[in-house]
Amino acid sequence: MKLLASLLTAAALAAPVFSAYAAGETPAAAPKAAKPDLVKGEASYTAVCAACHGADGNSAIAANPKLSQQHPEYLVKQLQEFKSGKRNNPVMKGFASMLSDDDMKNIAYWVASKPAKTGFAKDKDLVALGERIYRGGVADRNIAACAGCHSPNGAGVPAQYPRLSGQHADYTVAQLNTFRDGSRANSVQMTQVAAKLNDKEIKAVADYIAGLR
């Protein structure tokens, strides 16, 4: 009797689905994620971000990162983590706290659509060391090659690893230092890598990255 009751209950629950198919209807599809609105993204970027990161994401201030052509998924993740405090930066937390998830998505996809300007290495004495570390790592200290995640030309991997090509050396040095000292704690991989680099190696890698294209 219990089995019969269970079967009758299941049939009753399924009846609306079968009747919909019989009437030529199809079940409602799950709502699709809204596409980014690039017009709104440009407006929000201009109002909130342009003063520090440049009108088109090509920051002219060496301490502030270039954002143009960066993977949008990475930018959204960083903005969310600034807002939550997972990535500790009081200035960026203030700006990110004003943005909704849709604002972040719109901004990220708009600035990602802007072409990045090339950068240049400045220290000829260090750039060869930087290239060796970037392309081959340091085997005897178990330091992985940067190219393994960020690609040989610094383009990165969408939704996984950020674009580095042409980034300001000063900014890259600052980020590697914060990974090394633990004040930036939103990437275990980068914390582990930076912990093994000395000051000279950090500067060399950053300078080499600035000239990547």
The tens-digit pLDDT sequence of the chain (213 residues) is 443 344 334 444 444 333 333 344 445 555 567 899 999 999 999 999 999 999 999 999 999 999 999 999 999 999 999 999 999 999 999 999 999 999 999 999 999 999 999 999 998 889 999 999 999 999 999 999 999 999 999 999 998 999 999 999 999 999 999 999 999 999 999 999 999 999 999 999 999 999 999
Is position 51 within any domain?
A: yes
Tell me: do 194 and 134 sit in the same domain: yes
Domain that holds residue 134: 124-210
Tell me the three state secondary structure of residue 138.
Answer: strand
| Boundary of a domain, candidates 112, 145, 174 | 112
Please give the span between the terminal C-alpha atoms of the chain, in angstroms, as a whole number: 73
Category of 137 on φ-ψ map: left (φ > 0), alpha (ψ -120 to 50) or beta: left
Tell me: do 129 and 206 sit in the same domain: yes
- List the CATH number of the domain containing 54: 1.10.760.10
Is position 10 within any domain?
A: no
The Cα–Cα gap between 192 and 143 comes to: 9
| Boundary of a domain, candidates 112, 136, 163 | 112
Is position 15 within any domain?
A: no
191 with 182: CB under 8 angstroms? yes
Rounded to 10°, the helix 72-84/101-112 angle is 140
The Cα–Cα gap between 66 and 171 comes to: 9
Tell me: do 83 and 146 sit in the same domain: no
Please give the torsion angle defined by the CA atoms of residues 168, 180, 90 and 166, in that order, rounded to the nearest 10 degrees.
Answer: 10
Q: What pTM did the predictor assign? A: 0.83
The Cα–Cα gap between 174 and 168 comes to: 10
The Cα–Cα gap between 11 and 19 comes to: 12
Tell me: do 92 and 131 sit in the same domain: no
Number of domains in the chain: 2
| Boundary of a domain, candidates 72, 87, 112 | 112
The Cα–Cα gap between 24 and 8 comes to: 25
Q: What is the pLDDT of residue 29?
A: 55
Phi and psi for 18 in degrees, rounded to 5?
A: -65, -40
The Cα–Cα gap between 39 and 111 comes to: 11
Q: If DSSP states are collapsed to H, E and C, what string results for 29-73?
A: CCCCCCCCCHHHHHHHHHHHCHHHHCCCCCCCCCCCCCCCCCCHH
Is position 201 within any domain?
A: yes
Would you state the structure tokens that stand for residue 5, as one six-digit string? 């009751």
Is position 21 within any domain?
A: no
Is position 118 within any domain?
A: no
